[in-house]
Chains A and B, each alone.
Chain A
Amino acid sequence: MTTRLAPRVSLRTALAGVASIALTVSLAACSGGSGGSTEQVDRAAQTSACPPLDDSVDESQHFTWIYSVDNSSFDPDHITTNNSLMYLLPIYDSLVHVNEKGEPEPMLAKTWKVSKDGNTLTMTLIDGWKYHDGTPFDAASVVANIKRSQEPGGFNVNALSSVKDVRALDEHTVEFTVDDGSAGALVGILGGAAGMMMSPKVFDDPSQDVKPTGGSGAFTMERYVSGSRVEYKAVKNYWDPDALNVSGMTYLVSGDDNARLNAVLTGAADATFLRASMYDTAKQSDNVVCEAPSLSSYQITLNTKRSEFGKKEVREALNYAIDRNAVSAVTDGFLEPGVQMFPDWFWAANKDITAENTYQYDPEKARQLLEQAGLEDGFSFEMEVINLDLYQQIAEVIQANLADVGIDVSIRPVEIDALAENFSVSKNVDAQLSEQKAEADPSILTASYYHRNSFNNPGGWGTPEIERLDVAARKGASPEERAPLYADLFDAVMEEVPFNVVLGHLTTPFVMNKQARGVEIYADGTRSLRGVGKTAD
Chain B
Amino acid sequence: MLALLLRRLAFTIPLLLVVSFLIYALIVLVPGDPAVALAGQNPSPAQIAAVRAELGLDDPFLVQYWHWLSSALQGDLGVSLFSSESVTSAILARLPTTLSLAFVSLTMAAVLGIAVGTLAGLKPGTWIDRVATVSASFGVAMPYFWVGMILVLLLAINVPILPAVGYEPLGNGLWGWLSHLLIPASALAIAPAAVIARQTRAALVEVMSQDYIRTANAKGLPRFRVVAKHALKNSSVPVVTVFGIEANRLIGGTVVIEQLFALPGVGQLAYQSVFARDFPLVQGVLLATATMILLINLLVDVSYGYFNPRIRQA
Contact = CB atoms under 8 A, between A and B. Distances in A.
Direct contact of A and B (CB under 8 A): yes
A414 B168 contact: no
Nearest to B125: A7
A428 B43 contact: yes
A425 B165 contact: no
B43 to A, nearest CB: 5
B164 A1 contact: no
Contacts of B90: 225-226
Contacts of A22: none
A5 interface: yes
Contacts of B83: 70-72, 210, 226-227, 417
Contacts of B84: 73, 206, 209-210
B162 to A, nearest CB: 10
B63 interface: no
Contacts of A5: 137
A258 B129 CA distance: 40
Contacts of B198: 3
A3 B136 CA distance: 13
A48 B184 CA distance: 38
B58 to A, nearest CB: 22
Contact of B276 (A225, A228, A414): A414
Interface in A227-270: 227-228, 254-256, 258-259, 262-263, 266, 268
B42 A425 contact: yes
B80 A262 contact: no
A9 interface: yes
A5 B137 CA distance: 8
A213 B41 CA distance: 23
Interface in A385-442: 387, 413-415, 417-418, 421, 425-428
A129 interface: no
B154 interface: yes
Interface string B60-92: 000000000000000000001011110000100
B153 interface: yes
A32 interface: yes
A27 to B, nearest CB: 10
Contacts of A2: 202
A258 B163 CA distance: 10
B215 interface: no
A152 to B, nearest CB: 11
B153 A256 contact: no
Interface residues of B, number: 44
Contacts of B276: 414-415, 417-418
Contact of A13 (B94, B127, B262): B127
Contacts of A425: 41-43
Given A262-B163, A266-B163, A228 B168 contact: no
B139 interface: no
Interface in B37-54: 40-43
B305 interface: no
A31 B155 CA distance: 12
A413 B84 CA distance: 21
Contacts of B80: 226
B99 to A, nearest CB: 15
Contact of B130 (A13, A227, A417, A426): A13
Given A13-B127, A268-B168, A418-B82, A254 B153 contact: no
A23 interface: no
A256 B262 contact: yes
Nearest to B203: A1
B202 A225 contact: no
A224 interface: yes
B130 A7 contact: yes
A401 B163 CA distance: 38
A224 B43 contact: no
A15 interface: no
A35 interface: no
Given A1-B202, A417-B276, A72 B82 contact: yes
Contacts of B131: 13
B93 interface: yes
Interface in A12-37: 13, 17, 28, 31-33
A417 B261 CA distance: 22
B158 interface: yes
A258 B164 contact: yes
Contacts of B203: 1
Contacts of B277: 418
A1 B206 contact: yes
Contacts of A413: 275
B40 A421 contact: yes
A28 B166 contact: no
B129 A259 contact: no
Interface in B164-217: 164-166, 168, 176, 198, 202-203, 206
Task: Report which residue of B166, B176, B198, B264 has the largest number of chain A beta carbons within 10 angstroms of its beta carbon.
Answer: B166
A415 B82 contact: yes
A415 to B, nearest CB: 5
B43 A258 contact: no
Given A418-B82, A425-B41, A259 B262 contact: yes
B34 interface: no
Contacts of A224: 85
A209 B203 CA distance: 57
B207 to A, nearest CB: 11
Contacts of A71: 83
B25 interface: no
A225 B272 CA distance: 14
B275 A9 contact: no
B94 A225 contact: yes
Given A262-B165, A418-B82, A7 B129 contact: yes
Interface in B8-49: 40-43
A7 B133 contact: yes
B135 to A, nearest CB: 9
B171 to A, nearest CB: 13
Nearest to A5: B137
Contacts of A226: 80, 83, 85, 90
Contacts of B275: 387, 413-415
A6 interface: yes
Contacts of B141: none
Contacts of A72: 82-83
Contacts of A28: 150, 153-154, 158
Task: Report which residue of A31, A71, A266, A413 has the largest number of chain B beta carbons within 10 angstroms of its beta carbon.
Answer: A266
A141 B262 CA distance: 42
Nearest to A428: B43
15 contacts: A9-B134, A13-B130, A72-B83, A206-B84, A225-B93, A225-B264, A228-B94, A228-B264, A255-B262, A268-B166, A415-B272, A415-B275, A417-B82, A425-B42, A427-B43
Interface of A: 1-3, 5-7, 9, 13, 17, 28, 31-33, 70-73, 153, 206, 209-210, 224-228, 254-256, 258-259, 262-263, 266, 268, 387, 413-415, 417-418, 421, 425-428
Interface of B: 40-43, 80, 82-85, 90, 93-94, 127, 129-131, 133-134, 137, 150, 153-154, 157-158, 163-166, 168, 176, 198, 202-203, 206, 238, 261-262, 264, 268-269, 272, 275-277
Given A28-B153, A266-B166, 8 more contacts: A3-B198, A13-B131, A28-B150, A32-B158, A210-B83, A210-B84, A226-B85, A259-B262
